[in-house]
Structure 1
Amino acid sequence: MASVSSSTSSLLTSAYSSSTTATTTSSSTSSSDSTSSSSSTSSTTDTDDIDWDALIESAVQAKLTRADTIDVKITDNETKIAAYQTLQSLLTDISTAAQALRAPSGVLDSQDDAFLNRAAYLTANGDVDASASVSVSVESGTEEGTYDLQILQLAKAHKVAGSSMSSSSEDLGLSGTMSLGVEGGESVEVTIDEDMTLAEIAEAINATSDESGVSATILKVSSDAYRLVLSSVETGQTITATDGSGGVLASLGVVDEEGAFTDELQAGQDAILVLDGVQVTRSSNDVDDLIDGMTFRLYQTTPEGTSIAVEVGADVSEVKSAVQALVDAYNAFREYAVTQQTLTSSGTASEDSVLFGDGTLRSATLAVYDALNQTIDDTAMSLLGLTFDENNYLELDETALDEALLSNLDEVEALLSFQMDASSSNVMLLARGTSAPADFTLDIATDADGAIVSASVNGDSSLFTVSGTRIIGAEGTAYEGFTFVFTGDDDQSIDISFSTGIAELLYNATEDLADTTDGTLQTLIDNLESTNDSLQSKSDTIRSAAETYRTNLTNRYAEYQAAISEAESTQDYLTALLDQWNSS
C-alpha cells in the first residue's frame, strides 16, 4: 500500500476506520484427530462508503478561511469607498453652488459668476409695446447702463414675383440660362432645361442660393395659379437678375422686355434705429455690433414720439437660482451626515452608518456649518432669508431673498463673494489663493518703457515674481495663489484689501476636501483602493494555492482508494486460500 503523508493520514485513518468492522478469526484444533478448523468472518471495507469529496472540501475550506477573512475586509473597504465617494459628490455640489456666488477670479471662471449675469429690462416711454418691438440679450459681464431706443425702420428682404402659371408640376418647355445675384455680390448662372417644371426651376435656383444670395419659392395663389417668388437671402439687399439665352426670366414673367422686374412685392431695405439720439442703419434686424455684449432683435417699429428704455443690470433671477442651488446642496449633504450618525435601539451604529465617527465627515460638517454662520461686516445669511431649522437644515424665505436682491444686491454680493478693493484701477485680480492676506500696499516699480521691474510689500520684493504684466505671489508666502495684472506704465503704490464672503468660505472648505485629483477624500479613496489591490492579490494567491491543494489532494486520495482496493483484493484472495486449506 502506498505511504500516507502526515498532512492527510489522520483524515484517511478516520474515514477508513469509520467504514470498516473488525475481522474476527476463530480457530479450533483437535490434537486427537489432527483436525483443525478455521473460520474467518470478515466484514471488509467498502471504499464507496467514504465521502471523499467531503474530505477534500473540508481540507480545502480550512485553507480558504484566511482568504474569506481578507475578502470581508475588501468588502468593508469597498463600502467605505462608496460612502466617501458619495460624500465627495455631495461636497462637490456645495462647491459648485458656492462657485457661482463667490465671484470667481480670472476670465475663464467669470462665466460661472452669477453676479455677472446680465439681463435687459425694457420700459415703454409712451404708447409702445416694448416687448413686442424688440428683445435684447446681454452677455455675462456687460457693463450696466440704460439706453433710449427708437426703431424707425425694419430691415426687409427684396422680393419679386413672376406671372401666374397654371401648374407647378407640369413641364414648362423653357430652355436657357439666367443670372441671379444681389447688388455688391457675384451673380450665378442657372441653367434651365425644357423638361423642368416650375417647382424644379425653383429647386435649381435654391441649389445656388448660398453663392447667389437669392432663394426661390412657389406661391400657390389658387388651385390653378402658381407664381415664382425670388427673395434675397439676407435683408437689406437688392436682387439683380439678368436673362440669358432663351429668355427664361421673361417667359416666367419675372422681368419685362427691358429686363426690369415686373412685380416687386417688397423692396429690400436696412433697419434704421436711434440709440440715445444717434441714428444708425444695419442690414439685419439682429444687431449685435451696436454695444459690446448686447444683441438687439427688432420686431416692429416704435410709433412716432415713443421710445423704449433698455436697462442693462444684474440678472437677479440667476442669483436667486444660485442661492437655491446652494440651499439644496447643503441640505442634501446635511441629510447624508445625519444618516451616517444613526444609532440602533441598542445604542450601536446602524448598518447604514458607514462613516459613523469618521473624522473627515466630522471636519467637513463643522467647516460647512461654520462658513454658513459667518458674519461679514455685521451681515449674516439672514439677509438672504436663510435660517437653520431645529435639525440644522437650511430654510429659505423667498420673499426675503427677493427683497434683498432687488434692494440690496451689492450687500448680498458682499456677504457672499470674495472682493478686492484697490486704490488704483491699474491693478486687477487674475487668480487668488484659499486665504486672503491682511490689507497691504503693493509697491510697483517700472522701467523707462513702463515694464514692471519689481513688486514688493514693505520693501520685500521676494514676496512676488514678475512675468510680463503679471505679479505672482511667491510660494510659501501669504500671497501664494494670488496673481495680479498691472495695466499701468509708471511706478505706483497701491493699497489693496480683501473681504471673504460666505460662499468663498464654503468653496474653500469643500473644494479642498472634494477635489477629485488631490483632495482629502480622494487621498482616502486612493489609499483604500490601493489597500484593496494588495488584499485582493493576497486573497487570489491563497485561493490559487487552495485550488492547487485541491487538485493534489484529489489525486492523492485516488491513489489511496486504489491502494485500499488492492489490499482488500489481496485479503479476499488470502482468505479464500485459507478456507480452502482448512477444508481439505
Structure 2
Amino acid sequence: MTSVSSSTSSTSTTSSSTSSASSVTTTGTSTSTSIDWSALITAAVDAKLTQATTISTTITNNEAKVTAYQTLQTDLSTLSSGLSSLATSVVNSLATNVFATRSASISSTGDVSASSALSMSVSNGAATGDHTMTISQIATAQKVVGTAQSSESTALGYTGTFSLGLGSGSTASVSVTSTMSLQDIVDAINAQTSTTNVQASIVQVSSGSYEMVLSGTEDAADIAYSSTSGDDILNELGVTDSSGSFSDVLQTSQAAEFTLDGISMTRDTNDITDVLTGVTFDLLQATTSGSTLNISIGTDTSQITSALTTFVTNYNAYRDAVIAQQATDSDGTASSSAVLFGDGTMRDITSQLENALNNTVGGLTMADLGLSFNDKNELELDTSTLSTILSTNLSGVTTLLSAQTTTSSSQLSVVNTGTSPQSFTLDVAVDSSGNLTSASVGGDSSLFTVSGSTIIGNAGTAYAGMAFTYSGTTSQSITVTSTSGLATQLYQIAKNASSSTGSLQTLITNLTDRDNDLQQKVDDIQSAASAYQTQLEAQYAKYQSAIESANNTLTYLKALLNSSSSS
C-alpha cells in the first residue's frame, strides 16, 4: 500500500512539473538583446536636454540681434565720421573742415599767359579775396662757363686746391691732382655741393669740345672762387681770367622783383611764402609791360559737394539697414531676417536723424541744398541746386550745416567750436601783469586749460574741442554763444548712438551678458545630461546582466525539467 501510494504521489508530482515546463517553453522569455537600450537612454537624455535646446534657440536669436545692432553701430559711426568735416566751420591754418579749404585761380590781362608766369598753392584757412600781381624779373642764380677742352676723360695734368662757395655762405676746398680729368674735377666739385651750393656740369659743344659750367643752386647770390695753392684750376679751364673774374657769365644772379596789389617787393627766391599767410607764389617769368596777373582765392566748394555726397551715401547705408529690419512677409508679419522689427532704440535713433534733417537753421532747410527724401525715406541730392546755392549764398550754407560760435568780446577769439558747441559765460582771470591765469564757467576752472593766451576745453567735459585765444589784459566775463547746424546735429546723434557708451552698445552688452548666462545654463544642463547618461548606461548594464543571468538560469531549469520529464 505504502509503495503504491508513494508511486501515485510520485506520478502526480511528475505530471505537475511536466505541465510547468511546457508552459515556459511555449511562452518564451525576453533576452537583453531584444531591448533597444540605446534608444531608451537617448530618449531619457533628450528629455533632459529639451530645455537646453530652447535656451540655445534664445542665444541664437540674441546673437542675430547683436549682429544687427553692430551693423547699425558701424553705419552710424561711418555717418558721424563723414559729417565731421561739415560739423564745424572755424577758419584758420589748423582747420580741417571743408569750409576752411581753399582754391585759387589765376587769370591775366594783357599779353601774358597766366599759367606761364605764375603758379601758386593755398593752405587751409588762408584769407579769401582777389589780388593783382606784376612780375618785373624773376630771381636767378649765377651761371658761368669755361673754355673748350678736347676731352672730358683724359688726365689734365693740373695740381692745385681752390675754395668754392656761394655768396656769403659756406665754402669748401676742392683738391685736384695731375691724374684727374675734366669729369673728375666736376665730380669733386659736386661732392661738396651740399656745403658750397655750387654745382658743376659738362656741356659737349661739339665733337671733341667740352666746357665746364658752374651754377649756383640758390638765386640772387654770386659764385665765390679763390685759388689757394698750386695751379689756378679754374683759370686753367678758362672759367676765370687773369684777374680772377669769371670769363663768361651765362646768367647773372638777381633777386625777384614784383608787385602785389600795387606794393613793390623784392625776394631772393621765386618761391614766395611770406607775402600772404598760407599762400605760396612760384614766379615763373616776368610779365610784359601793361600786363597783370589776376589772383582769386576762395573756399573750395567742391570739397563741400564731396562731403555732402558722402553724407548722402552714408545716411542711405544706415537707412537701408533700418529698412531691412522692417521687412515683412506676404502675410504682413515680420520677416524672419528682421530680427529688430519694431525695435524702439532703432526707431528712436532714426527719428532723431530725420527730425534733425527737417530743421530750419538761419532761414534755410536741407531742401535749399538740394536734399530730399525719396519714397523709402532715403536721401537724394540735386547737385545742380547745391551748386547754385554754393555760388550765391555760401555763408548761408555754412550756417545751415555747421556749428557757429561767437563771443561778446573782440578780445576773445574763437579758434575752434568743436563738434559739440556750447553757449555759456566764460570768466577769464589775469594776474597783476596782465597775464591770463585761468578760465572758468560757474566758478569751475577745471573745465579749461590755459596755456599762454590760449584757452582749451578739456577732454571729457562738455567743452571738449572748443578753443579760444584771449588778447585782453584785464579779468572779465564774456558771453559765448553757439548754434548747431544740421551737420553738427546729425554728427552728435550718430556719434552718441554709435559710441562705446551709446544706446546701441548698451543693448549689445546686455544681450552678450545674457547670452553668457544662458550659455552657462546650457553647459550645466548638458553636463547634467551627460552624467545622467552615464548613470543610465551603468544602470541598464546591470539590468542586462541580470536578464542574461536569469535567462541562463531559465535555460538550465528548462533543461533539467525536460530531462526529468523524459525519464
Name the TM tier (shorter chain).
0.7 to 0.9
CA RMSD for the aligned pairs?
Answer: 4.9
Q: Give distance in 1, aligned partners of 2:530 and 2:412.
A: 72
| Partner residue, 1:22 | none
Identity of aligned residues (%): 39
- Residue 526 of structure 1: CA displacement? 3.2
Matches within 5 A, 1:297-316: 297-316=282-301
- Residue 456 of structure 1: CA displacement? 9.5
| Partner residue, 2:510 | 527
Q: Give distance in 1, aligned partners of 2:557 and 2:200.
A: 116
Correspondence for 1:276 among 251, 255, 261: 261
Q: 1:369 to 1:189 in 2, by over 3 A?
A: same
Q: Give distance in 2, aligned partners of 1:336 and 1:480.
A: 32
**CA contact 1:105–1:432 (8 Å) conserved in 2:** no
**CA contact 1:182–1:237 (8 Å) conserved in 2:** yes
- Residue 373 of structure 1: CA displacement? 0.9
1:360 aligns with 2:342: no
1:334 aligns with 2:319: yes
Aligned residue for 1:323, secondary structure, equals: helix
Matches within 5 A, 1:73-472: 73-103=58-88, 111-164=95-148, 177-192=161-176, 198-199=182-183, 201-221=185-205, 224-243=208-227, 244-245=229-230, 248-250=233-235, 252-256=237-241, 258-429=243-414, 430-431=416-417, 434=420, 437=423, 449-450=433-434, 468=450
| Partner residue, 1:15 | none
Q: 1:100 to 1:43 in 2, by over 3 A?
A: same
Aligned residue for 1:341, secondary structure, equals: coil
| Partner residue, 1:20 | none
Q: Give distance in 1, aligned partners of 2:549 and 2:181.
A: 106
**CA contact 2:447–2:461 (8 Å) conserved in 1:** no
Matches within 5 A, 1:551-570: none
1:518 aligns with 2:501: yes
Query: C-alpha deviations, 1:228-269, integer Å up to 9, x for none?
Result: 433323333333344454655455554455544444332333
Q: 1:67 to 1:260 in 2, by over 3 A?
A: farther
**CA contact 2:440–2:448 (8 Å) conserved in 1:** no
Q: Give distance in 1, aligned partners of 2:360 and 2:239.
A: 76
- Residue 315 of structure 1: CA displacement? 2.0
**Equivalent residue pairs, number:** 546
With the length of structure 1 as denominator, give the TM-score of the two structures.
Answer: 0.75
Aligned residue for 1:280, secondary structure, equals: strand
| Partner residue, 2:3 | none
Letter in structure 1 aligned against 2:75: L
Aligned residue for 1:524, secondary structure, equals: helix
Letter in structure 1 aligned against 2:404: Q
Letter in structure 1 aligned against 2:144: V
**CA contact 1:56–1:553 (8 Å) conserved in 2:** no
Q: Give distance in 1, aligned partners of 2:185 and 2:101.
A: 49
Which moves more between the two structures, 351-360 or 283-292?
Answer: 351-360
Correspondence for 1:488 among 461, 468, 472: 472
Which moves more between the two structures, 348-357 or 530-539?
Answer: 530-539
Q: Give distance in 1, aligned partners of 2:256 and 2:181.
A: 36
Q: 1:312 to 1:558 in 2, by over 3 A?
A: same
Runs of 5+ consecutive residues of structure 2 not aligned to the other structure: 1-9
Q: Give distance in 1, aligned partners of 2:490 and 2:98.
A: 16
Q: 1:298 to 1:454 in 2, by over 3 A?
A: closer
- Residue 370 of structure 1: CA displacement? 0.9
Q: Give distance in 1, aligned partners of 2:43 and 2:176.
A: 93
Letter in structure 1 aligned against 2:508: I
Runs of 5+ consecutive residues of structure 1 not aligned to the other structure: 1-29
- Residue 206 of structure 1: CA displacement? 3.3
Letter in structure 2 aligned against 1:210: S
Which moves more between the two structures, 182-191 or 212-221?
Answer: 212-221
Aligned residue for 2:250, secondary structure, equals: strand
Aligned residue for 1:503, secondary structure, equals: helix
- Residue 296 of structure 1: CA displacement? 0.9
Q: 1:65 to 1:219 in 2, by over 3 A?
A: farther
**CA contact 2:408–2:478 (8 Å) conserved in 1:** yes
With the length of structure 2 as denominator, give the TM-score of the two structures.
Answer: 0.77
Which moves more between the two structures, 76-85 or 558-567?
Answer: 558-567
Aligned residue for 1:160, secondary structure, equals: strand
**CA contact 1:44–1:568 (8 Å) conserved in 2:** no
